[in-house]
Structure 1
Amino acid sequence: MKRMPSVVLGLCSFTHDSSAALLVDGELIGFVEEERLSAEKHTKLYPARAIEWLLGQAKLTAADVDAVAYNFQPAHYLAESPAALRLALSPATRDRALARARGFAKVALRTQLRLRVIGRQFPAARVVPVLHHRAHQLTAFAASGWDEAAVLVVDSLGERQTTTIAHGHTAIRPVTQPLEAINDPASLGYVYGAVTEHLGWRRGDEEGTVMALAALGDPARFRHLFAEAVRTTSTGFHINPAYFPTRTLTSGYERTSRRFIAETCPERHPSEPLAEVHQDLAAALQERTDQVMVHLARRAHVLTGSPRLCVGGGVATNCVSIGKIIEAGVFDEVFVPPAPGDAGTAIGAALAVHVDVRSPRPLVGAARTCYLGPSYEDQALDLTPWPGLHQKTLGIEIAEFLADQLAHGTIVGLFQGAVEAGPRALGNRSILASPLEPGVVERLNATVKFREPFRPFAPMVLAERADEFFTLGQQAPYMSMASGVTDTTREQVPAIVHANGTSRLQTVTRSQNPFMHAVLTAFGRRTGVPVLINTSLNVKGKPICGTPEMALDCLASSGLDALLLEGRWITK
């Protein structure tokens, strides 16, 4: 009989977006991404700060950890090597077959070595490698809080898998039953990353910029190309290597072909101005991504018969595609967890160990929550390193004060409570602004965030009044869904409407975030519009500010007017 771990540490480490999660007796103690504490965006370093905070929260040491769950299984990488050699039989893939076989074998060995490194940190623990897509599935399904749902995971690569469909159900603990899988080289995430890089942005970081650019282009120009490059099948899709050569996991191999370049445009350098061809390429890529995602969602419905869908994996951060799935009406409700990307698999990996030992303890603390990281509510604040900043302590009507400042056009950084999980600021590490202020989008992009002028800003809205402004028809608590807007929105708050007529909204309930609910209520009372612009507390190239020091740096180095940091009003 297996020994039942009562302390399980889940890790995402050594690849990108390092993070850690801790389960103690089935309760999720916390989760945090290392970048929020180290200030290094998308860091792949061992999440030492995250682990230290988690163990401190539980009053434990490394010696108390019974199991460490890692979010990749080396053996599944190794299994791809002989399969890769079969690509030598086709002229279209022959030139990369050997490099691919070597690349997957090398990553398998590297992953095995990483498991040993982790094991040395926790001498009393067993180290458990967890299949990557299983970790994604459990993260998404457990966060939904549902008893049953279809689970669709779409990313770039997890060992061999790129797309999986499972059926989630809960008795005492969440379980996902795998039903169907698509293996690399059929990868939607790979294609999106390849085009992101081709257009001059960082793959694995700035796909959202391409998604925003797509709204400005005409997809018809390259529609036929993407229909040829990403072909749907009865059970999924496959990628045409004539446009996107087979992945090798080895540096020095291009992700787009000469034919792709000849039929689209040369690779754009980041310093080059954007042209119409770049907009059209982004638009066609996004349109095809939407089509394939809806196709996969329909397949998930056929396989499970479920009225509800959970979506995870890196491609689940594409809010436009998630919005298209909802619009298609295949499911009654669609859910995306707050951390659908690789960072969130630290939670799923820990859950996998909890499930596999058949713990009698029910899972607690993972459903419908996003504020899982460190808070600094009682920390003293020394502004000596920031001589240009001044602070005053506010009274008890902080929400009313903030709403008044916002109504008068002040752009405010907000730092309160626990750090959010995932890539979106959800009211605890946010920059807030009035969408009614003339020129607010241009000002935010140019002087606060320092990013491209075509980038839109997302709104947050009182959940009970969302239908007045948005057509989504369901809750969107984690800012992961693009919604159509109503005539009221176009007339009263056009600043939050992107060029494609949508907004990536966050619906806020009193139970989810009492403070932000109070601020929105107060702002609505003053202006008639219970809607605010909400973007993450950071500037381009930096992670969301997880610590007071990071937030103060952000205030000092950007065009923010003020920072509300745990009840203290800080200005320049």
Structure 2
Amino acid sequence: MAAVSRKPSVVLGICSFTHDSAAALLIDGELVGFVEEERLSQHKHTRDYPRQAIAWLMDDAGITPADIDAVAYNFQPMRYLAETPAALRMALSGTTRRRALPRAAGFSKVAVRTRRRLKLLAQHFPGARVIPVLHHRAHQLAAFTASGWEEAAVLVVDSLGERQTTTIAHAHHSTRPRVRMLEELMDPASLGYVYGAVTEHLGWRRGDEEGTVMALAALGNPGRFRHTFSRAVHTTATGFTVDPAYFPPRVLTSGYPRTSPRLTVETCPPRHPDEPVQEIHQDLAAALQERTEQIMLHLARRARVLSGSRRLCVGGGVATNCVSIGRIIEAGIFDEVFVPPAPGDAGTAIGAAVAVHTDSGSPRPLSGIARACYLGPAFPEPVLDLTPWPNLQQKLLGAEAAEFLADQLAQGMIVGLFQGRVEAGPRALGNRSILASPLEAGVVERLNATVKFREPFRPFAPMVTAARAGEFFTLGQAAPYMSMASQVTDTAREQIPAIVHANGTARLQTVTPAQNPFVHAVLEAFARRTGVPVLINTSLNVKGKPICGTPEMALDCLANSGLDALLIEGRWISK
């Protein structure tokens, strides 16, 4: 008798309707693809339903909506309702009284809105079960499964997931990943909320430009406002609290300031985005960053004690604060620290799908997630129509592409690199990158002013061959996703000062031949020419635009920026 073919299990994970929309696809437990919608729609941090991301995933896998068994969504609506009694208790305090009713109403509205979103997803996939997943669980599973470890502590720190803002868990993997919650903090104790509020106060976009504030912090004196932040964000035995006198409790509707008049009196007035950055702004950023690092270290120590683990996975939006991650590593609390390539909300599309697959009891093990970052669309043989860009010219390179690129970089060119599948997460990791020589005089100033069009104090990150990373950086562990800031060696200060930020650190990416063969070959070819296996690596985009996900986006970036050339799948495009 002929064997009956078994229909594969298909789970679609979705992050949508809030920010950083993304989609992930698991087929029989294998992660076959993940992409952020912004990489295709050109709308940075989009909250829109990830229509193009989902269409690409299904087309690439050769399936239709009817083939999808379950849709995993990264929020649970009913969890918001539990905030109502807690919010109403705020009416008992004069500091928070005015926020009590609006806060209770806001959380209730979001619960209703989230239920509506689940119904909308059900309309898109009428044959599938739509399953809401606790937001922090999605973060935890995304971080842990990406690590490839059998066991680890998991620390998630973000702005808000339903009510949770900070969770510590212990994860282990036998037949499937299991995560046991050890401790949680609820809003309004939110480090992500505080960082976003001060980012906004300093004149940058909350939810987008916290990295700018982190860079600015290196120029300031944290002592000026140290006591203010010690009072505003107070450590406790089990975590921290946020003083509402400085940061009033959030209300999930617009029109409610996130900072108080007291913070303004004790620090500085809000800065308009067009105003010049002054010393007081640098000092405020420095105090915020210092307190963030202190809290993150405190939480990491707590995770070590509660879990007993020697390894730590970190997820959530605050995990993108690479200086804090570097501090945790330097402190030696854990033997190794891991941050997934997409630690923010976009990555919860993967975590939600993993949760649903795990809970289904499927015997199929997870695969394709551990240490994977190149998960999005590829354009291996693009037909490049340069008609919209008449000033661009192209020529085809052969097997010598890596040597040719290294040559051009050694001669001082700034080149965009577009190859393979789109990276997951906020950092370009060699497939959608802008590369430059760190030995070139004035390269940082040129990159900021004419290529990226961003603030002059912003640093640029290095990529280095993993085998020689120790010559230039003291981190002492792999950093494949550019998520950790490291102190630098004297050799780095002498030979490549362009990649050293004002605080003496660099956010490095270590590269192995297995991880990215082409980029590793370029680094080695560059080292043969210069003696230095290090290149500047920044994302292929300009300020305010997402990383280029398509050839057209990359060509537009070349044509409208100070890039000298673009290497796109073996084609050399120059002006």
**Normalised by the shorter chain, which TM-score bucket?**
over 0.9
What code does the residue aligned with 1:163 have?
T
Distance 1:160 1:238 in 2: 14
- Equivalent residues in 2 for 1:100-249 (5 A)? 100-249=103-252
- Equivalent residues in 2 for 1:29-40 (5 A)? 29-40=32-43
Contact 2:382 2:551 in 1 (8 A): no
Runs of 4+ in 1 over 6 A off after TM superposition: none
1:379-437 alpha-carbon deviations (Å, 9 max, x no partner) = 21111111111000012111000000000000000000000000000000000000000
1:243-271 alpha-carbon deviations (Å, 9 max, x no partner) = 00011111111000000000100000000
Contact 1:152 1:300 in 2 (8 A): yes
1:307-353 alpha-carbon deviations (Å, 9 max, x no partner) = 00000000000000000100111000000000000000000000000
1:183 Cα deviation after fit: 0.2
Contact 2:106 2:252 in 1 (8 A): yes
Of the structure 1 ranges 378-387 and 457-466, higher mean CA displacement relative to structure 2 is found in 378-387
Contact 1:339 1:423 in 2 (8 A): yes
2:427 to 413, 418, 424: 424
Distance 2:250 2:386 in 1: 49
Distance 1:55 1:20 in 2: 11
What code does the residue aligned with 1:342 have?
D
Distance 1:265 1:383 in 2: 50
Q: Tell me, yes or no, if structure 1 residue 450 matches structure 2 residue 443.
A: no
What code does the residue aligned with 2:472 have?
F
Contact 2:90 2:100 in 1 (8 A): yes
Q: Tell me, yes or no, if structure 1 residue 75 matches structure 2 residue 74.
A: no
Contact 2:71 2:129 in 1 (8 A): yes
1:55-106 alpha-carbon deviations (Å, 9 max, x no partner) = 1111100011000000000000111112210111111211100000000000
Q: TM-score, length-normalised on structure 1? A: 0.99
What percentage of residue pairs aligned between the two structures are identical?
79
1:102-128 alpha-carbon deviations (Å, 9 max, x no partner) = 000000000000000000000110100
Structure 2 counterpart SS, 1:152: strand
- Equivalent residues in 2 for 1:154-553 (5 A)? 154-553=157-556
1:489 Cα deviation after fit: 0.2
Structure 1 counterpart SS, 2:123: helix
What code does the residue aligned with 2:413 have?
T
Contact 1:313 1:341 in 2 (8 A): yes
Contact 1:5 1:357 in 2 (8 A): no
Structure 1 counterpart SS, 2:25: strand
Alpha-carbon RMSD: 0.9
Distance 1:552 1:256 in 2: 41
Distance 1:386 1:38 in 2: 20
What code does the residue aligned with 1:19 have?
A
Of the structure 1 ranges 380-389 and 269-278, higher mean CA displacement relative to structure 2 is found in 380-389
Distance 1:417 1:110 in 2: 38
Distance 1:4 1:288 in 2: 52
Contact 1:11 1:21 in 2 (8 A): yes
Q: Unmatched 5+ residue regions in structure 1?
A: none
Of the structure 1 ranges 52-61 and 130-139, higher mean CA displacement relative to structure 2 is found in 52-61
Q: TM-score, length-normalised on structure 2? A: 0.98
Structure 1 counterpart SS, 2:463: strand
Distance 2:391 2:111 in 1: 51
What code does the residue aligned with 2:565 have?
A
Q: Unmatched 5+ residue regions in structure 2?
A: 1-5
Distance 1:253 1:131 in 2: 26
Structure 2 counterpart SS, 1:97: helix
Contact 2:427 2:539 in 1 (8 A): yes
Report what 2:572 is aligned to: 569
Contact 1:406 1:412 in 2 (8 A): yes
Cα separation, partners in 2 of 1:131 and 1:4, compared to 1, 3 Å: farther
1:214-245 alpha-carbon deviations (Å, 9 max, x no partner) = 00000000000000000000000000000000
Report what 2:3 is aligned to: none
